[in-house]
Amino acid sequence: MDMKDIEFKLDEIKKRNRRVEADKAWETSTFRRILIAVITYALIVLFMYSSGIGRPLLSAIVPTAGYLLSTLSLPFVKRWWISRRRM
């Protein structure tokens, strides 16, 4: 293996690491959580409205808030799960 091969492979590893870091940043970003909450709210409002469920604008807040709360509690659950798994 010559130096060009080593440099090429090293560059590929660096590119992969940047992609992985960007994906991780997206997965944990507040923007992503808010975007999913807005989309969830809109879809639930549309579903409730088309189903004839009363007060869809207010009623859709409950499942959307549930989603947001789950994103706040999951890091704690994840840490607990990982610590239990290492046993």
Closest CA to 41 of 19, 14, 65, 23: 65
Q: pLDDT of the chain along its 87 residues, tens only?
A: 788 889 999 999 999 999 999 999 998 899 999 999 999 999 999 999 999 999 999 999 999 999 998 888 777 888 888 889 876
Tokens of 78: 């994840």
Distance CA(19)–CA(22), nearest Å, equals 5
In the chain, how many domains are there?
Answer: 1
Distance CA(81)–CA(72), nearest Å, equals 15
According to the model, what pLDDT value does residue 32 have? Answer: 94
According to the model, what pLDDT value does residue 74 have? Answer: 75
User: Which segments of the chain does DSSP mark as H helices, in order?
Assistant: 3-27, 30-51, 56-59, 61-85
Domain that holds residue 75: 3-85
Q: Is the distance from CB of 27 to CB of 57 less than 8 angstroms?
A: no
